[in-house]
C-alpha cells in the first residue's frame, strides 16, 4: 500500500550475506522497505527469518552486503566507522532483548552514558536522565547496579538509555522476550505511549499480543518481506480481531 507518510528510513535492494569458510548464507535478500515517521512498525517472522539482521542494517548497527540505506534522506550505509558511531549515538535508540546494561555502572550511569558519548553537557544529561528516571518509574533505583534491580526495571532503564539523546527512531529487538507477562505489558505500554506522542518505533517480536501494538506489521520469511498489514493506532478493544488477522498472515493461513 502506498503511504502518504514521510519515510524516515528507506532501504533499497538490501542484502546481507554471512560467510563462514567457503559457505555463504543469504540472511536478507533484496529487501525494499520504507519505515514511516510516527509509525509503530512491528516486524514478525519465524526464528531465523532475518528479523534481527534487518533491524541491525536499518539502524546502522551492522553493515549491508549489498544495497542502500537512507535515514532522513541521507545515505548511511557508506558511513565510515566514526560517522556510523556518531549516527547511532544521536539519531537512533536501540533496545535489546538481552537488555545489555553495563553491569558495573548504576542505573543512572547506564542511562546517562550515551548522553556523554553524544557530546551533551553535564547539565543537559543530568536533566534528561532525571526526567527519564521519573518517566520510567525508576526513582529509588537509580543508584543501584542493574543486578540489584528486577528484569522489568532493567528493561525500563534500557528504554531510558535509548531515549537519552531524543532519537528520531527507537528500535526494539524483542524487548519483552526476557520479561514476565506484567513486566512485558508495562514495557509495551511505555513504547505505545511514546509512539502516541510522536516517537517512531520499530520493534521485532514473536508475540502476537505485542504485535497488536503495531500500526504497521511487516512479516519476514526467508530473508524477504512476505506480507504487510496496516492498522489504526492501538486500541485495546481491537486486540481480539487484530490477533486473528496477524495470526493468519504470520502462519500463512490467511
Ligand atoms: N553472524 C552470523 N554468521 C552466520 N550466520 C548468521 C549470523 N547471524 C545470523 N545468522 C543467520 O542468519 C539468519 C537470520 O538470523 P537473524 O538473527 O536475523 O534471525 P531472526 O529472524 O532474528 O531469528 P530469531 O527470531 O531466532 O532471533 C539465521 O539463519 C542465522 O543463523
Range of the domain at 207: 39-63+85-251
Q: Is residue 80 part of a domain?
A: no
Q: How many domains does the chain have?
A: 1
From residue 189, alpha-carbon distances to 95, 169, 193, 234, 235 in Å are: 15, 17, 6, 10, 11
Q: Is 42 in contact with 54 (CB distance < 8 Å)?
A: no
Q: Whose CA is nearest to atom 14 of ligand 1?
A: 50
Residues 188, 83: Cα–Cα separation, whole Å: 31
Q: Whose CA is nearest to atom 30 of ligand 1?
A: 48
What tens digit of pLDDT does each residue of 120-135 get? 999 999 999 999 999 9
Q: Is residue 2 part of a domain?
A: no
Q: Is residue 11 part of a domain?
A: no
* pLDDT score at 1: 55
Q: For a pocket test of ligand 1, which of 53, 65, 176 has the largest count of ligand atoms closer than 8 A to its C-beta?
A: 53
Q: Is residue 6 part of a domain?
A: no
Q: Is residue 210 part of a domain?
A: yes
Neighbours of 62 (CB within 10 A): 15
Instruction: Tell me what ipTM this predicted complex has.
Output: 0.97
Q: Is residue 116 part of a domain?
A: yes
CATH number at residue 111: 3.40.50.300
Beta-sheet pairing, 7-20 with 23-36:
antiparallel
Q: Is residue 226 part of a domain?
A: yes
State if residue 25 touches ligand 1 by the CB under 6 angstroms criterion: yes
Residues 214, 195: Cα–Cα separation, whole Å: 10
Give 144's DSSP letter. Answer: S
* Cell reading at 109: 550511569
* Cell reading at 125: 544529561
Residues 180, 178: Cα–Cα separation, whole Å: 7
Give 5's DSSP letter. Answer: S
Q: Which of 71, 80, 54, 79 is nearest to 169 (CA)?
A: 71
What tens digit of pLDDT does each residue of 241-253 get? 999 999 999 887 6
Q: What is the CA radius of gyration of the chain?
A: 18
Q: Whose CA is nearest to atom 1 of ligand 1?
A: 18
Q: Is residue 25 part of a domain?
A: no
Low-confidence ranges of the chain (pLDDT < 50): none
Residues 138, 149: Cα–Cα separation, whole Å: 10
Amino acid at each position: 500500500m502506498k503511504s502518504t507518510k514521510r519515510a524516515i528510513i528507506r532501504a533499497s535492494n538490501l542484502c546481507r550475506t554471512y560467510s563462514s569458510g567457503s559457505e555463504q548464507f543469504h540472511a536478507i535478500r533484496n529487501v525494499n522497505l520504507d519505515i514511516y515517521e510516527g509509525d509503530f512498525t512491528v516486524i514478525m517472522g519465524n526464528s531465523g527469518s532475518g528479523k534481527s539482521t534487518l533491524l541491525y542494517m536499518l539502524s546502522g548497527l551492522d553493515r549491508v552486503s549489498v544495497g542502500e540505506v537512507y535515514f532522513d534522506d541521507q545515505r548511511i550505509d557508506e558511513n565510515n566507522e566514526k560517522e556510523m558511531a556518531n549516527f547511532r549515538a544521536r539519531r537512533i535508540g536501540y533496545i535489546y532483548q538481552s537488555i545489555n546494561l553495563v553491569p558495573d555502572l548504576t542505573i543512572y550511569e547506564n542511562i546517562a552514558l550515551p548522553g556523554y558519548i553524544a557530546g551533551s553537557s553535564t547539565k543537559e544529561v543530568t536533566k534528561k536522565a532525571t526526567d527519564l528516571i521519573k518517566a520510567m518509574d525508576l526513582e529509588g533505583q537509580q543508584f543501584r547496579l542493574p543486578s540489584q534491580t528486577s528484569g522489568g526495571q532493567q528493561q525500563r532503564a534500557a528504554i531510558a538509555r535509548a531515549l537519552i539523546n531524543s532519537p528520531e527512531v527507537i528500535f526494539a529487538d524483542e524487548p519483552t522476550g526476557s520479561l514476565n507477562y506484567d513486566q512485558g505489558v508495562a514495557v509495551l505500554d511505555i513504547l505505545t505511549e511514546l509512539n502516541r506522542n510522536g516517537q517512531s518505533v520499530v520493534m521485532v517480536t514473536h508475540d502476537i499480543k505485542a504485535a497488536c501494538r503495531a500500526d504497521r506489521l511487516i512479516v519476514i520469511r526467508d530473508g524477504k518481506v512476505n506480507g504487510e498489514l496496516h492498522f489504526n493506532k492501538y486500541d485495546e478493544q481491537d486486540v481480539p480481531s487484530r490477533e486473528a488477522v496477524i495470526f493468519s498472515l504470520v502462519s500463512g493461513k490467511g
